[in-house]
Amino acid sequence: MQTIEQTYIKYKNKVEKNITNDGISTDRGRFILTFNEAQNKWIEFHLQQRGVDDVRYIQNFLVLDKKIPYSSKLEDHYNFLLPKNYLDLSSLIPLASKGNCKDKKLTDIFELQTENLSEILQDEYNKPSFKWRASFYTINSNTVSVYVDDFSVDNILLNYYRYPNQIKQINIEDPESDFDESIQLEWDDKSLDRIISLAAGEFDLNSNNPRFQLQNLRQQK
């Protein structure tokens, strides 16, 4: 696996090859910004596509069975804070309790759009039910809300895609500071080469070149 230093050298070579304006140069600080942006775009692109090949590229970033306790509760739902590195949901299973029955998995679970909330809560066939192990949830930028009836949900098991490790420098005040090599790159060589090209394209003042545009990611796979 490539080090950050080796990746920077490849990036710098691409940038210098692409630049047509005199006096434009890159540095480690600019590399950090463009590389982190590019790797985030790369994983977001594959999540949007969700094809067999796309999932294979990002399988390393799938976190399984992350147990999360509730952060607050209201009369009809429990709130759960999403992890800081959360990017996109794969699935979730609430662990419900009622009386002596503890931590039972609610297997009939679906995401609900908030505009339908009041209607569903009054619907005898779709409202939350401990007996039928059924409920629904809503999700926003940092919180999942799981709805209940006469039972509690103290935890959820969350399967989610996370952001890749964000690279950084030891001294962020110095644009030429050494990289923090305690942070490991997580991509295979093929994906890393694509990300380097994207990062170079972000820097390139003439980035109208279509090979650096996100709409051409599929051709680059």
Same structural domain, 68 and 108 = yes
At 213, is the pLDDT very low, low, confident or very high (cuts 50, 70, 90)?
very low
pLDDT at residue 206 is higher than 50: no
What's the pTM? 0.85
Same structural domain, 99 and 187 = no
CB crowding 63-91: b at 16 or more within 10 Å, else e = eeeeebebeeeeeebbebebeeebbbbee
Q: Among 17-26, 92-101, 121-130, 184-193, whose mean pLDDT is lowest?
A: 17-26
Same structural domain, 108 and 150 = yes
Same structural domain, 112 and 125 = yes
Same structural domain, 150 and 78 = yes
Q: How many domains does the chain have?
A: 2
Same structural domain, 49 and 127 = no
Q: How far apart are the C-alpha atoms of 178 and 175, rounded to whole Å? A: 9
Same structural domain, 106 and 185 = no
Same structural domain, 35 and 81 = no
Show the domain range for 141: 62-162
Mean pLDDT of the chain: 87
Task: Write the pLDDT tens digit of every residue in 122-157.
Answer: 888 889 999 999 999 999 989 999 999 999 999 999
For residue 103, the model assigns a pLDDT of 95
Same structural domain, 66 and 157 = yes
DSSP strands (E only) in the chain: 62-69, 72-73, 77-81, 86-98, 101-105, 108-111, 134-139, 143-147, 152-162
Same structural domain, 37 and 125 = no
Same structural domain, 198 and 131 = no
